[in-house]
C-alpha cells in the first residue's frame, strides 16, 4: 500500500490539513482526529470527482493508498497541551519552555534539529508508557 503524506497545521482556532500532491484538497476540524477524518473523506471525494470530470490525478491514487499525517510543531503542541504542560515537554525534550510557547503560538518555527528533539522526546515518552505494566 502506497503512503501519501498529509500535512496538518494549527491555525489558531482549528486544525487544517492538506495533501501536497493533490492541490486544492484541504480540510479543517476542531480536533486533529476530526480534521483527519474530514481530509480522508475530502481526498476520496476529490479523486472521485476528478475521475468523473476526466481530470488527471496522481498515479498513487489509482491504487491502494494510505494517508500518513505529518503534524507541524504548532499542531502537535496545541493538540497535546491538555495532556502535558510546556514545562513537562521541556523536561523530555531539553528545549526551553519559553521557546516551546513560541513554537505553539506560531511566533517562531523550529529548526529541523529542534523538531527532531521534540519528536525524539515524545517517542521516548511513548516507549516508556508502553513498557508500563500494572
**pTM for the whole structure:** 0.82
Kindly state the helix (H) or strand (E) to which residue 118 belongs, with its residue range.
helix 112-130
Tell whether 66 and 83 lie within a shared domain.
no
Predicted pLDDT of residue 83? 86
User: What is the residue-averaged pLDDT of the chain?
Assistant: 92
Res. 1: pLDDT tops 90 = no
Residue 27 has a pLDDT of 95
Same domain, 102 and 67: no
Domains identified in the chain, total number: 2
Tell me, yes or no, whether 81 and 116 share the same domain: yes
Is the pLDDT assigned to residue 47 strictly greater than 90?
A: yes
Give the end of a domain, one of 52, 71, 90. 71
Domain housing 22:
2-71
The Cα–Cα gap between 24 and 46 comes to: 9
- Residues forming beta bridges with residue 2, ordered by sequence position: 65
Q: Average pLDDT, stretch 107-132? A: 93
For 92-117, the pLDDT digits (tens) are 999 999 999 999 988 999 999 999 99
Q: Which cell numbers in the block locate residue 93?
A: 525534550
Amino acid at each position: 500500500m502506497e503512503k501519501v503524506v498529509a500535512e496538518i497545521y494549527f491555525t489558531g482556532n482549528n486544525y487544517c490539513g492538506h495533501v501536497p500532491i493533490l492541490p486544492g484538497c484541504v480540510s479543517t476540524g476542531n480536533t486533529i482526529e476530526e480534521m483527519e477524518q474530514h481530509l480522508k473523506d475530502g481526498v476520496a471525494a476529490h479523486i472521485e470527482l476528478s475521475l468523473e470530470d476526466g481530470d488527471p490525478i496522481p498515479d498513487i491514487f489509482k491504487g491502494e493508498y494510505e494517508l500518513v499525517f505529518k503534524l507541524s510543531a504548532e499542531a502537535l503542541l496545541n493538540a497535546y497541551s491538555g495532556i502535558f504542560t510546556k514545562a513537562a515537554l521541556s523536561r523530555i525534550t531539553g528545549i526551553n519552555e519559553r521557546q516551546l510557547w513560541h513554537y505553539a503560538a506560531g511566533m517562531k518555527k523550529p529548526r529541523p534539529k529542534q523538531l527532531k528533539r521534540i519528536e525524539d522526546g515524545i517517542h521516548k515518552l511513548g516507549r516508556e508508557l508502553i513498557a508500563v505494566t500494572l
